[in-house]
A = this chain, B = another copy of it.
Amino acid sequence: MRRPVLDFYVEFASTYSYPAAMRIGARAEAAGVVVRWRPFLLGPVFKAHGWDTSPFNLYPSKGRYMWRDLERICAGLDLPFRRPDPFPPPSLLAARVAHVGLDEGWGEDFCRAVYAAAFGEGRPIGDEAVLRDLIAGLGQSPEPVLARASSDVIKTRLRAATAEAQRAGVFGAPSFVAADDELFWGQDRMADALAWAVRASS
């Protein structure tokens, strides 16, 4: 029997990805599911919709609701919450560093650290100085990591993750892909996605 697997598409500028990223480890472990973290960029996806920024900025009523809802969700999960400024933060460099980390075994911790900084503390994760801090906090040397983050190999890997997301039909984050092609969108669908992965592998 194959171990159930779930692809977890995250974008560091995505607000609802924060509670999802902080919870998925324990939830997946309890369900016996292997999570493959897939940091990607929503920018190209939004551009295909004709959007040049987050829909939460383009549509104020959606944005107002989202900030209140996120505050409520974080309170319910005992997660600190602070609205980042600017929003959305530039997430390209963080995503590249995450791919370095995933390759070297500290990627999931880095992803959680980025989300905690962005939405738990409101830090500007687009700043290289903030990323240096987070990398060092995981016991890694920032210089070689940042050098690798701008290598062609890593750039290509991030582009591939974004292309895969689009092929899977992803149009927002967080998204989950179970059994290779069953898409679930939104942090509130994590349990459904995990259950699908388990059922598909049994």
Which chain A residues have a beta carbon within 8 Å of chain B's beta carbons?
A: 45, 48-49, 59, 61-62, 64-65, 68-69, 169-172, 183-186, 188-189
A95 to chain B, nearest CB (A): 20
A169 touches B49 (CB 8 A): no
Measured CB to CB, the closest approach of chain B to A7, in angstroms, equals 15
Copies in the complex: 2
Bound-complex Cα distance A68 to B186 (A) = 15
What B residues does A61 contact at CB under 8 A?
Answer: 45, 48, 169-171
- Asked whether A171 and B49 contact (CB < 8 A) given A188-B188, A188-B189, A189-B188, the answer is no
In the complex, what distance in Å separates the CA atom of A76 from the CA atom of B183?
16
Residues of B within 8 A of A170 (CB): 61
CB of A74 to closest CB in B, whole Å = 14
Known pairs A188-B189, A189-B188; A171 contacts B68 (CB<8 A): no
Q: Roughly how many angstroms separate A171 CA and B55 CA in the complex, as a whole number?
A: 12
The answer to whether B64 touches A59, judged by C-beta atoms less than 8 angstroms apart, is: no
Q: Taking A59-B171, A62-B171, A65-B185 as given, write out 17 further A-B residue pairs in contact, using a Cβ cutoff of 8 Å, ordered by the A residue number.
A: A45-B61, A48-B61, A49-B59, A61-B169, A61-B170, A61-B171, A62-B172, A64-B169, A65-B169, A65-B171, A65-B183, A68-B183, A69-B184, A69-B185, A186-B188, A188-B188, A188-B189
Shortest A37–chain B CB gap in Å is: 21
Q: Lowest 9 A-B CB distances belong to which pairs?
A: A61-B171, A188-B188, A62-B171, A49-B59, A61-B169, A65-B169, A65-B183, A64-B169, A65-B185
Shortest C-beta distance, A127 to chain B (Å), equals 32
Hey, which chain B residues are within 8 Å of A171, CB to CB?
59, 61-62, 65
Measured between alpha carbons, how far is A189 from B45 in the docked complex, in Å? 26
